[in-house]
Chain A
């Protein structure tokens, strides 16, 4: 069973604000102790599309970046990839940076060097194997900000996702770390512009889901297993951040989870948001996330069973 730590949103006070809680989360997990001076750490985050109104506050990332900087004595790299979906016909890196800046995300606000994982074109990357005997993909191309770093911390703003059910550690530490061409290859015939309840055929969707899970193994190989996950259960909206609009959150803010196991942390995330929000992800998205997590466990991405250590 993998350990998942949960620092919840209760007992706030002058010395137990969000930034204290986030520091506590890192301390309790011991993740900073695994970093050493000079290590180049990449923090993979989510950047909000124009029209998506529930992006994380920069401070939520900065507190983690400052902790990593203190442990490594060097500023981490904070990154996200170019989105495959080009609503406004502004596909290149300069527009990505302009938009991120207008949303309050920049090197100054995030506490680390804010870069695009994949460069200006989104295609700067390198190939890594998925190390799975019956792999459909074989390998994936991972963006350079991730694959040229010594360690990866995946900071996921948890939301729902139209094709994968949950936008959490597995997706952000997998598909979302790939270069643009790799994502296109994974999607195959699926149209990524999912709106108004349009859904791809079930068989195609399952193929994509399996490929998305496998891509996490490629990312893990790219950083030689030096990978750590934080899930922000904050403003959990039905739409993921790459959507150009957002409904209000489905559940009250639940705090922050940390784990070294992406399957365990996503399992815990699913359980918490469903029980506290009194809804089923499958009802909202049509995706059986529990089954997907089980599949993830089968391919060696992690364990669905977890021990939850709750801190207030």
Chain B
């Protein structure tokens, strides 16, 4: 293959920091952050409830166990009757296949309603992330959500975008406790809720290494402005590439077959392709990742990330998570991690790779850091799936799985989160197994408030068949005459194993 010619990136220097309307925009929050906010656990290990992924009978359905954990972990006590309860989920990028099945969310919405809460499902818009992003514009994101099965009809409650039509409906939260961020912006539909249940799909992420409930708060609850802040846009010197993308001087320019996509990738036209390299205006950049991710997704290396960026972004998103938590009184937020379809990349990717661990199960707690530690420990212990990127990288059961797959340990985030008061890393795992009893079976199989009305289906069918039995109407059925010898032996002639048992 012909070697590409590379030229150094042509930089247009910044004259100074970008000054916008910061002094006047939400200079004073009109609604003070909740005074009683804080980590749920005051002392000692926090309880985390866990139900494993396998199911062999009707009480063990993952949907039933998710509902059970909602009560075992006392998440029903996060809200009072009449409270507006935001159910925070990830709506999933277009063509992404590993998103949470809608039933997991419907399960929680049903229980919030049953307990007297007024639920609504929310997610904020994102930044553009890549050329064909479908989550940055609210209508696109809703179209994608519908395609994934996340609709009002599926859940029986509104499915909304938390930061409004244009991503500007937000609420500034001060963060004097933050290690990097001193403020952030939270989508109003979340900030204004009385309570929140965060339902996360636990899987990997290229920037934060891992995404669970903390990432749902630290990125997912942030409005567009909050995301730019959390991405660390314009933090430091552009040449360090912490607050800016890294221009590697390895861009083939117009010889790159993706160069038109690259030129399209910046919503602010902060860069464009030259004959053998790039032209770059750092002042225009807002670190939305679109150029970097478009380049990476296409297998190229012209624009990328500085390695040291990732741990800083991890710490920043813990700060941002605190911003979201501050919008609620202490104890008003419940957390559930679904450690299933544990793939290496985020639900904001337009594809899903092979899982790096078999499904582990459902975790629930009121302490988000304890929950994340329990989830990470369990994923680390799980077997490594052959053929996955974890196997390719030589990961073994017991290794820090996401560190091996994505580069850094997610415990960096958890340590930072504990330091700023998000929760405690010490947890006590309570293993939950549903009892196999008629009451337990009936609890989640007989639906209340739907078409079914408190009766087992079979009992309801008695009313139908007593009036008119559609089967009896056409009996005796037309069939060959029964012969015992034929029924017990004829099928063996069609069986490659001639009737032998495994």
Give A contacts to B, CB under 8 Å.
75, 77, 79, 92-95, 97-98, 101, 106-107, 113, 115-121, 123-124, 126, 143-145, 148
CB neighbours of A120 from chain B (8 A): 160-162, 164, 169, 187-189, 192
Q: Is the CB of B164 within 8 A of A113?
A: no
Given A92-B84, A113-B142: A119 and B158 within 8 A (CB)?
A: no
Instruction: Report A120 CB to chain B, min CB distance, Å.
Output: 4
Give the 3 A-B residue pairs with the shortest CB-CB distance, closest first: A119-B164, A119-B169, A124-B169
Q: Is the CB of B142 within 8 A of A119?
A: no
Instruction: Report A253 CB to chain B, min CB distance, Å.
Output: 31
Given A75-B139, A97-B160, A101-B152: A115 and B165 within 8 A (CB)?
A: yes
B151-189 Cβ-contact flags toward A at 8 Å (1 or 0): 010000110111111101100000000000000000111
Contact of B169 among A75, A107, A113, A121 (CB under 8 A): A121
Among A101, A118, A124, A148, which residue has the most Cβ atoms of chain B within 10 A?
Answer: A124
Q: Confirm or deny: B133 has a beta carbon within 8 angstroms of a beta carbon on chain A.
A: no
Query: How many residues of chain B have a CB within 8 Å of chain A?
Result: 24
Q: Is the CB of B189 within 8 A of A93?
A: yes
CB neighbours of A107 from chain B (8 A): 142, 146
Q: List 12 A-B contacts (CB under 8 A).
A: A77-B139, A93-B158, A94-B158, A97-B160, A113-B139, A113-B143, A115-B165, A120-B169, A124-B166, A124-B168, A124-B169, A145-B165
CB neighbours of A123 from chain B (8 A): 169, 188
Taking CB as reference atom, which chain A residue is nearest B142? A113
Taking CB as reference atom, which chain B residue is nearest A112? B139
CB neighbours of B189 from chain A (8 A): 92-94, 119-121
Question: How far is B145's CA from A107's CA once the two chains are assembled, in angstroms?
Answer: 13
Question: How far is B484's CA from A243's CA once the two chains are assembled, in angstroms?
Answer: 75
Question: How far is B164's CA from A115's CA once the two chains are assembled, in angstroms?
Answer: 9
Given A92-B84, A120-B169, A145-B165: A101 and B188 within 8 A (CB)?
A: no
Question: How far is B160's CA from A95's CA once the two chains are assembled, in angstroms?
Answer: 11
Q: Which of B109-158 contact A (CB under 8 A)?
A: 118, 120, 138-139, 142-143, 146, 152, 157-158
Instruction: Report A124 CB to chain B, min CB distance, Å.
Output: 4
CB neighbours of B168 from chain A (8 A): 119, 124, 126, 144
Given A113-B138, A113-B139, A121-B188, 10 new contacts (CB under 8 A)? A77-B165, A79-B165, A92-B189, A93-B158, A94-B160, A107-B146, A119-B165, A119-B188, A124-B163, A148-B165
Instruction: Report B194 CB to chain A, min CB distance, Å.
Output: 10
Among A75, A113, A115, A120, which residue has the most Cβ atoms of chain B within 10 A?
Answer: A120
Contact of A148 among B152, B166, B192 (CB under 8 A): B166
Taking CB as reference atom, which chain A residue is nearest B169? A119
Taking CB as reference atom, which chain B residue is nearest A123? B169
Question: How far is B118's CA from A144's CA once the two chains are assembled, in angstroms?
Answer: 26
Q: Is the CB of B139 within 8 A of A98?
A: no
CB neighbours of A117 from chain B (8 A): 165
Majority SS at the chain B contact face: mixed
Q: Is the CB of A94 within 8 A of B139?
A: no
Q: Is the CB of B165 within 8 A of A144?
A: yes
Question: How far is B118's CA from A95's CA once the two chains are assembled, in angstroms?
Answer: 9
Given A113-B142, A120-B164, A144-B164: A101 and B158 within 8 A (CB)?
A: yes
Question: How far is B159's CA from A98's CA once the two chains are assembled, in angstroms?
Answer: 10
CB neighbours of A115 from chain B (8 A): 138-139, 161, 165
Q: Which of B73-100 contact A (CB under 8 A)?
A: 84
Q: Is the CB of B160 within 8 A of A93?
A: yes
CB neighbours of B162 from chain A (8 A): 120
Given A116-B165, A148-B166: A97 and B142 within 8 A (CB)?
A: no
Question: How far is B166's CA from A97's CA once the two chains are assembled, in angstroms?
Answer: 17
CB neighbours of B187 from chain A (8 A): 120
CB neighbours of B142 from chain A (8 A): 107, 113
CB neighbours of B118 from chain A (8 A): 94-95
Q: Is the CB of A121 within 8 A of B152?
A: no
CB neighbours of B157 from chain A (8 A): 94, 98
Question: How far is B120's CA from A106's CA once the two chains are assembled, in angstroms?
Answer: 15
Q: Is the CB of B192 within 8 A of A121?
A: yes
Question: How far is B248's CA from A9's CA once the two chains are assembled, in angstroms?
Answer: 68
B223-243 Cβ-contact flags toward A at 8 Å (1 or 0): 000000000000000000000
Instruction: Report A69 CB to chain B, min CB distance, Å.
Output: 12
CB neighbours of A101 from chain B (8 A): 152, 158
Instruction: Report B50 CB to chain A, min CB distance, Å.
Output: 31
Question: How far is B445's CA from A217's CA once the two chains are assembled, in angstroms?
Answer: 58
CB neighbours of B188 from chain A (8 A): 119-121, 123-124
Question: How far is B165's CA from A118's CA once the two chains are assembled, in angstroms?
Answer: 7
CB neighbours of A75 from chain B (8 A): 139
CB neighbours of B163 from chain A (8 A): 119, 124
CB neighbours of B192 from chain A (8 A): 92, 120-121
Contact of B166 among A98, A113, A121, A144 (CB under 8 A): A144
Question: How far is B170's CA from A118's CA once the two chains are assembled, in angstroms?
Answer: 11
Instruction: Report B259 CB to chain A, min CB distance, Å.
Output: 23
CB neighbours of B169 from chain A (8 A): 118-121, 123-124, 144
Instruction: Report A81 CB to chain B, min CB distance, Å.
Output: 11
Taking CB as reference atom, which chain A residue is nearest B139? A113
Question: How far is B165's CA from A116's CA once the two chains are assembled, in angstroms?
Answer: 7
Among B118, B158, B161, which residue has the most Cβ atoms of chain A within 10 A?
Answer: B158
Question: How far is B118's CA from A98's CA once the two chains are assembled, in angstroms?
Answer: 11
Q: Is the CB of A118 within 8 A of B164?
A: yes
Question: How far is B165's CA from A77's CA once the two chains are assembled, in angstroms?
Answer: 10
Instruction: Report B313 CB to chain A, min CB distance, Å.
Output: 27
Question: How far is B496's CA from A163's CA once the two chains are assembled, in angstroms?
Answer: 84
Among B152, B165, B192, which residue has the most Cβ atoms of chain A within 10 A?
Answer: B165
Question: How far is B101's CA from A168's CA once the two chains are assembled, in angstroms?
Answer: 45
Question: How far is B80's CA from A11's CA once the two chains are assembled, in angstroms?
Answer: 57
CB neighbours of A79 from chain B (8 A): 165
Instruction: Report A117 CB to chain B, min CB distance, Å.
Output: 7
Instruction: Report B116 CB to chain A, min CB distance, Å.
Output: 15
CB neighbours of A124 from chain B (8 A): 163-166, 168-169, 188
Instruction: Report A107 CB to chain B, min CB distance, Å.
Output: 7
Among B118, B143, B166, which residue has the most Cβ atoms of chain A within 10 A?
Answer: B166
Question: How far is B158's CA from A106's CA once the two chains are assembled, in angstroms?
Answer: 10
Instruction: Report A239 CB to chain B, min CB distance, Å.
Output: 26
Instruction: Report B279 CB to chain A, min CB distance, Å.
Output: 27
Taking CB as reference atom, which chain B residue is nearest A148? B166
Question: How far is B188's CA from A116's CA once the two chains are assembled, in angstroms?
Answer: 13
Question: How far is B139's CA from A148's CA once the two chains are assembled, in angstroms?
Answer: 13
Taking CB as reference atom, which chain A residue is nearest B146? A107
CB neighbours of A106 from chain B (8 A): 152
Q: Is the CB of A94 within 8 A of B120?
A: yes
Instruction: Report A139 CB to chain B, min CB distance, Å.
Output: 15
Q: Which of B183-221 contact A (CB under 8 A)?
A: 187-189, 192
Taking CB as reference atom, which chain A residue is nearest B171? A121
Question: How far is B139's CA from A124's CA once the two chains are assembled, in angstroms?
Answer: 16
Given A92-B192, A93-B189: A121 and B120 within 8 A (CB)?
A: no
